[in-house]
């Protein structure tokens, strides 16, 4: 089977790499891929338009297409491919992708199903947002943009005064339509599942991301500076419960509404004193959570094939733990330089370096983005060993001026290991 992976980031590199491990897969094509994806039985192809993708799927007899990022899903790539006879596409349709693209849609759907979430109000203008903030029952306020924001559209405010000030800049960047929500307290974790349109089977490991730029969860929000799994905060029994009581009912309600959801489903969760509550849904795998998760999963190609065939089978995972440390360009998430030469990448059986913002030209590898590499390690001995291997490998990789990376990825797990 030939497989096509749509996307160019670390998530897509990890998905394609794991798919390529299957004996059922003969070649993985990335469209467009990056400087590290053309390895082994993987190839990069330049497909810029939806029509180009459809023609390639037909010409190359692609048996499975996996859409990695949210933007093509929200822009209707899956719908277009269906219309052009390409049926074996793993990813939600444009209507189903509203679950991520439209916070109002997801909030309303969860409210209908009584799914535990942060209480919020939908605001359609700056004036309405200002009024809701001023009347908010607590000083702490969360502002959530309605559309796609690349994981950067949420602002957590310590006071109403801060929220009123932040709202102006937030609206200038993302528009005035926002959810003004209560601030939940607790520990965050992520649950990932695969849906065949009828039910959701989860990766039975919770994953914990690190969104803030700096150690100690300080600094600005980013697309993710590292991740690890399993997260001790949420054991496999809790993960299964969330899949059964939150994710599957959501998919079934969408089907009842005429929207079939087939693809990856991500639930960002907060473990509060009252139990787990949903922070957000995403319609794709998270990044860099995907990198850590793909070091654990063993049968991804077979599970996606089963979902496409309508008889979903469980995801199998190795024992142990995985840790991903993101190496970012200096200045990220603000302005940063591109084209800096990368040296020192060393991979082993237990360490894989997933590329995100890289470019390969004339045999030389250079930076081409803010988050450049996801140095990811697996260990059957657990998180302490995986973390040590990831940081050891990260320390050998360099660019002029140096990478920025957090030094405390998975440190919380070391204090709570109870797998």
- Give the per-residue pLDDT at 333: 93
| Share of residues in the chain with pLDDT > 70 (%) | 99
Within-domain flag for 37: yes
Structural domain of 404:
321-416
Residue 147 pLDDT exceeds 90:
no
Mean pLDDT of 284-301: 97
Within-domain flag for 101: no
Q: Are residues 140 and 36 in the same domain?
A: no
Arithmetic mean of pLDDT over the chain: 95
The answer to whether the CB of 216 falls within 8 A of the CB of 202 is no
The answer to whether the CB of 5 falls within 8 A of the CB of 68 is yes
* Residue-wise pLDDT tens digits, 228-258: 999 999 999 999 999 999 999 999 999 999 9
Residue 119 pLDDT exceeds 50:
yes
Q: Are residues 292 and 200 in the same domain?
A: yes
Q: Is 255 helix (H, G, I), strand (E, B) or coil?
A: helix
* Residue-wise pLDDT tens digits, 63-86: 999 999 999 999 999 999 999 999
Within-domain flag for 23: yes
Q: Are residues 83 and 127 in the same domain?
A: no
pLDDT band at residue 139 under the 50/70/90 scheme: very high
Buried b (16+ CB within 10 A) or exposed e, 392-416: ebbeebebeeebbbbeebbebbeee
| Share of residues in the chain with pLDDT > 90 (%) | 94
Mean pLDDT of 105-118: 97
* Residue-wise pLDDT tens digits, 17-64: 999 999 999 999 999 999 999 999 999 999 989 999 999 999 999 999
* Residue-wise pLDDT tens digits, 183-219: 999 999 999 999 999 999 999 999 999 999 999 999 9
Q: Are residues 17 and 41 in the same domain?
A: yes
Domain boundary among 130, 163, 182: 182
Q: Is 264 helix (H, G, I), strand (E, B) or coil?
A: strand
d(CA 316, CA 293): 11
Within-domain flag for 110: no
Q: Are residues 217 and 259 in the same domain?
A: yes
Cis peptide before 333 (omega within 30 of 0): yes
DSSP per-residue letters across 66-135: EE-SHHHHHTTHHHHHHHTT---EES--TTTTHHHH-HHHHHHHHHHTT--B--EEEE-SHHHHHHHHHT
Mean pLDDT of 349-376: 97
Q: Are residues 171 and 193 in the same domain?
A: no
Within-domain flag for 193: yes
- The secondary element (H helix, E strand) that includes residue 256 is helix 248-256
Residue 178 pLDDT exceeds 50:
yes
Lay out the sheet containing 351-355: strands in order across.
Answer: 208-209, 226-229, 321-328, 371-379, 351-355
- Give the per-residue pLDDT at 419: 43
- Give the per-residue pLDDT at 417: 56
Pick the closest to residue 30 from 54, 18, 46 (CA basis): 46
pLDDT band at residue 149 under the 50/70/90 scheme: confident
Residue 220 pLDDT exceeds 70:
yes
Residue with tokens 């209480």: 119
Within-domain flag for 362: yes
Domain boundary among 182, 197, 213: 182
For position 141, which CATH number holds?
A: 3.30.1490.20
Q: Are residues 202 and 303 in the same domain?
A: yes
d(CA 249, CA 344): 47
Residue 137 pLDDT exceeds 70:
yes
Higher pLDDT: 381 or 221? It is 381
Q: Are residues 352 and 408 in the same domain?
A: yes
Q: Are residues 370 and 352 in the same domain?
A: yes
Q: Is 318 exposed, middle or buried (0-12, 13-18, 19+ CB in 10 A)?
A: middle
- Give the per-residue pLDDT at 58: 97
Within-domain flag for 108: no
The answer to whether the CB of 356 falls within 8 A of the CB of 374 is yes
d(CA 162, CA 165): 5
For position 241, which CATH number holds?
A: 3.30.470.20
Domain boundary among 158, 182, 206: 182
The answer to whether the CB of 92 falls within 8 A of the CB of 262 is yes
- Give the per-residue pLDDT at 59: 97
Domains held by the chain: number: 4
């Amino acid at each position: 089977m030939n497989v096509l992976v749509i996307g160019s980031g670390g998530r897509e590199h990890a998905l394609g790499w794991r798919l390529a491990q299957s004996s059922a897969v003969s070649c993985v094509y990335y469209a467009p891929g990056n400087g590290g994806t053309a390895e082994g039985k993987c190839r990069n192809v330049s497909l810029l338009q939806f029509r180009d993708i459809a023609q390639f799927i037909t010409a190359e007899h692609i048996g499975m297409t996996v859409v990695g990022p949210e933007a093509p899903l929200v822009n209707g790539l899956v719908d277009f491919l269906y219309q052009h006879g390409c049926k074996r596409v793993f990813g939600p349709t444009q209507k189903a992708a509203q679950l991520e693209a439209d916070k109002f849609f997801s909030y309303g759907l969860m409210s209908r199903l009584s799914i535990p979430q942060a209480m919020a109000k939908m605001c359609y203008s700056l004036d309405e947002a200002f009024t809701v903030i001023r009347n908010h029952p607590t000083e702490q306020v969360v502002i959530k943009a309605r559309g796609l924001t690349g994981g950067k559209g949420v602002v957590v405010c310590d006071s109403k005064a801060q929220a009123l000030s932040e709202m102006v800049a937030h609206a200038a960047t993302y528009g005035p339509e926002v959810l003004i929500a209560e601030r939940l307290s607790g520990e965050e974790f992520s649950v990932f599942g695969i849906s065949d349109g009828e039910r959701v089977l989860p990766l039975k490991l919770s994953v914990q991301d690190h969104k803030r730029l700096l150690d100690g969860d300080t600094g600005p929000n980013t697309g993710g500076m590292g991740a690890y799994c399993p997260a001790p905060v949420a054991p496999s029994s809790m993960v299964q419960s969330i899949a059964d009581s939150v994710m599957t009912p959501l998919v079934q309600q969408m089907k009842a509404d005429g929207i079939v959801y087939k693809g990856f489903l991500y639930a960002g969760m907060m473990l509060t004193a009252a139990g787990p509550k949903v922070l957000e849904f995403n319609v794709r795998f998270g990044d860099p959570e995907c990198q850590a998760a793909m070091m654990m999963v063993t049968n991804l190609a077979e599970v996606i094939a089963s979902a496409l065939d309508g008889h979903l089978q469980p995801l199998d995972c190795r024992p142990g733990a995985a840790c991903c440390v993101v190496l970012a360009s200096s200045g990220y998430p603000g302005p940063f330089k591109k084209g800096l030469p990368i040296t020192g990448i060393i991979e082993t059986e237990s360490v894989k370096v997933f590329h995100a913002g890289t470019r390969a030209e004339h045999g030389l590898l250079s930076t081409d983005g803010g988050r450049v590499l996801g140095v990811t390690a697996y260990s059957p001995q657990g998180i302490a060993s995986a973390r040590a291997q990831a940081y050891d490998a990260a320390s050998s990789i360099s660019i002029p001026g140096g990478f920025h990376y957090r030094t405390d990825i998975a440190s919380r797990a070391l204090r709570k290991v109870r797998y």
